[in-house]
Amino acid sequence: MLQLRLSEQRGQADLGWLRSKHSFSFGGYHDPEHMGFGPLRVINQDMVAAGGGFDTHGHADMEIISYVLDGALEHKDSLGSGSVIRPGDVQRMSAGTGIRHSEFNGSQTEPVHFLQIWITPETTGIEPSYEQRHFDRSVRHNSLKLVISATPGSDVLHINQQADVYASLLDKDASVSHRPDTGRGQWIQLAAGELLVNGEQMRAGDGLAISGEAEINIKALDDAEFLLFDMA
């Protein structure tokens, strides 16, 4: 079964320094029909203006992922971690018992465009942690590259949930496929371009909830960038 979540149906917020589109209920946007998908609770497509950012604030018991599309996002947290997240970088923060952090655009001239993703944890009350890794364009090009998994590995980020996250950059007319295990659900978030997924057409900003499909066939109708979530 496929359920398309059109880009224009998403909630929106405009704070001047921040323009955000919410796939699921978030902040001042509440839609009881779109509270999440399985453990996937938040997908916000954020555009932060030059010099703007999120002041220091707290989180607990949430797995938070940042995936930068354009620009550079600077991060600081109460663990003493500090980094700059650029395209190709994936950051995972397990808030656990509690963490405080800030995210901001250090550029005074260019915006930063990124996906902010929240996944509910499998186990609450864990020790907070932070991890960031770069995935070169070549490993995501015309493939599904596993970037986050519940199973630790040398080339993936570890998450406290039975969820796998794949990143892909597809050239026009290129195809990839995914065969999920029985009983799991999938979500595709299309950041750019156009896709055809098991006969369903997607455009930039669309999301697609998938359940009960033995195989997921993904073809790019235009150059595309997307994330595929495969979750218990």
pLDDT for residue 76: 83
What are residue 202's DSSP bridge partners?
A: 195
With CA atoms as reference, report the closest residue to 196 among 182, 217, 178, 179. Answer: 217
Residue 103, CB-side half-sphere exposure with 13 Å CA sphere: 23
pLDDT mean for each 10 residues of the chain (232 residues): 98 95 96 97 96 87 96 84 90 94 89 97 96 96 97 90 98 98 97 98 98 98 98 94
pLDDT for residue 106: 83
Amino acid of residue 57: H
With CA atoms as reference, report the closest residue to 46 among 81, 85, 77. Answer: 85
Q: Which domain holds residue 40?
A: 2-231
pLDDT in tens, 192-213: 999 999 999 999 999 999 999 9
pLDDT in tens, 64-79: 999 999 999 998 877 7
What are residue 30's DSSP bridge partners?
A: none
Total count of domains within the chain: 1
pLDDT for residue 70: 96
pLDDT for residue 54: 83
pLDDT for residue 85: 93
CATH number of the domain within which 149 lies = 2.60.120.10
